[in-house]
Amino acid sequence: MRLIESLKKRKFILCNIFLILYIGINLIGGERGLLSYFDKKNVYEELKKKENILAVKLEELEQKISLVKNNNSDYIDLIYREKFRYGTKDEIIIKLK
């Protein structure tokens, strides 16, 4: 009985304590909390790095496509020799990989 009566008298304080605990727990570990923020920040940085890598690869591919479209004979010859392992009789082919 005494416990129930003392809880009734202090229910405002208890409500405040539970409210502060609820906000504190969600602030740190909730779906939009501090830990989730750092995880999302790390994922964002990784995606930015991948985007930069893909942008460089895209530029290289666009350059190669422009060389093929302009009928650059040196580049076409290079591709032909590389893909089909072509060489003349007096050439020595050395594979470096």
pLDDT in tens, 40-53: 999 999 999 999 99
Average pLDDT over residues 24-51: 91
Query: Is the confidence at residue 13, as pLDDT, over 80?
Result: yes
Query: Is the confidence at residue 84, as pLDDT, over 90?
Result: no
Tokens representing 97 are: 């990989």
Tokens representing 95 are: 């594979």
- Compute the mean pLDDT over every residue in the chain, rounded to the nearest whole number: 86
- What global pTM score does this model have? 0.57
Contacts of 36 (CB under 8 A, 6+ apart): 29, 30
Query: Is the confidence at residue 82, as pLDDT, over 80?
Result: no
**36 vs 69: CA distance, rounded Å:** 48
% helix / strand / coil in the chain, to the nearest 5? 75, 0, 25
- Please state whether 86 falls in left (phi above 0), alpha (psi between -120 and 50) or beta: beta
